[in-house]
Structure 1
Amino acid sequence: MTASDEAADRARHAIARRAVLGGMLGTVSSVMMPSGHAQARTSGPPSFGTARSQFTLLAPAKIVPSLPLTRLNGATDNFAAFRGKTVLVNFWATWCAACRVELPILDRLQETMGQKNLKVVAISLDRNGRPAVMPFMQKLKLRHLEVYLDPEGRVGSVGNDNAAAPFPIYGMPISYVVGPSGRIEGYLTGEADWLSDDARNLLSYYASAMAG
């Protein structure tokens, strides 16, 4: 077993422990979701979530605009280059404890499903940018994730910081699924086991939708 596998396994066990606690809390509390989002569905993508939150469909789904993304080395990609793939866009920060749990899982997901038209895009919202992110990535031994920087919130916005940003940040971490056509299909707040069968089924659903 590689170091990447061990990190992902530890992360999955941590999420499982939190899920037990979250399930207990869920019996006495409810989660408020932003208005206008389709929370319940009788058809469409398979369900996926945690004890604390569920994958929430966006209605209507919006197309991600032509959007520059800044790599750790300063080079720039454009989100439009990912058309034709299912994209899992994960927003995180080095100060987020739950992100530390989830990132090794996403790293492993990119390694195992990246060849199946899946792209995991991990976007750091750290204000200090590369000096904060690089040593953090090295400590977690992340080898397969494509990490981008968004210190000014141009891609993901908290509250009303930047209304033009296409991805609202409702919590940390938060993951958006963008379909092969470039539509933002839905999101999930909090860390999740993206290596689980339910998660893979959700991602495969949007990947196969391109052929439908």
Structure 2
Amino acid sequence: MRKQLILAAAAVIGVAGGLYLASETEGTPGLPEIDFAAVEAMREGDMQKLQFGVDRGSDVVFVNEDGSDMTLAAFQGKHVVLNFWATWCAPCRKEMPHLSDLQSELGSDTFEVVTVATGLNQRPAMERFLDEIGVDNLPLHTDPNSALARDFGVVGLPVTLILNPEGYEIARLIGDADWASEPAMKILRALVAGE
């Protein structure tokens, strides 16, 4: 019975994964087509966990580091690496310096790493977290009720989404990764270039 349940769960996951990847061929109206097969072939190392597909955007409100409300529309026109993290998340501590390096390397008027602490994360703890790992170039946005994370289907941390300039998800990676690695840089440059 247990084996049957495991096989059934694997089938559901396979179908869901197929639907997620199938959406990449449908495209988003008004957006340039991306050759996901070519970009997918670039996956090596941690980037093998990267799943491609145009999925969805979100207009859910979260909290800017200055305390004001904001939505992802604030990043319209930019490719965004959107990372969901929390102060209690050990893999986030490992991953965050790589995201910082990515922002230093590729950050521009057309590309930004956006970090959002989801759930209950107090500002002093967030500042201490980043200070302890030597990160000073990433924002302290928060999603206190996890509304944005839920809207994107985030159920564990860390999760990183790649959004196109229209705010639609084009890829996601569950778990931590070295975002400053050569495979990551190669993939992100290709996505930004629309290759």
- Shorter-normalised TM-score: what interval? 0.7 to 0.9
Q: Which structure would you say has the larger RCO, counting Cα contacts within 8 Å and 6 or more residues apart?
A: 2
| 1:142 to partner: Cα distance | 1.5
**CA distance in 1 between partners of 2:107 and 2:121 (Å):** 29
**CA distance in 1 between partners of 2:140 and 2:14 (Å):** 28
- Corresponding residue of 1:91: 84
Q: Which aligned segments of 4 or more residues in structure 1 are displaced greater than 6 angstroms?
A: 39-42
Q: Does 1:138 align with 2:120?
A: no
**CA distance in 1 between partners of 2:76 and 2:15 (Å):** 27
| 1:53 to partner: Cα distance | 5.6
Q: CA contact under 8 A between 1:53 and 1:190: conserved in structure 2?
A: no
More helix by share: 2
Structure 1 vs Structure 2: percent identity of aligned residues? 27
Q: Secondary structure at the match of 2:98?
A: helix
- Corresponding residue of 1:20: none
**CA distance in 2 between partners of 1:122 and 1:65 (Å):** 15
CA pair 142-206 structure 1, distance change in 2 beyond 3 A: same
Unaligned runs of 5+ in 1: 1-29, 158-164
Opposite residue 21 of structure 2, the aligned amino acid is A
- Corresponding residue of 1:82: 75
More strand by share: 1
TM-score, normalised to structure 2, is: 0.75
- Alignment RMSD: 2.8
Q: CA contact under 8 A between 1:67 and 1:80: conserved in structure 2?
A: no
Q: Does 1:185 align with 2:159?
A: no
**CA distance in 1 between partners of 2:158 and 2:51 (Å):** 15
| 1:181 to partner: Cα distance | 2.4
Q: CA contact under 8 A between 1:49 and 1:192: conserved in structure 2?
A: no
**CA distance in 2 between partners of 1:33 and 1:129 (Å):** 38
TM-score, normalised to structure 1, is: 0.69
- Corresponding residue of 1:197: 182
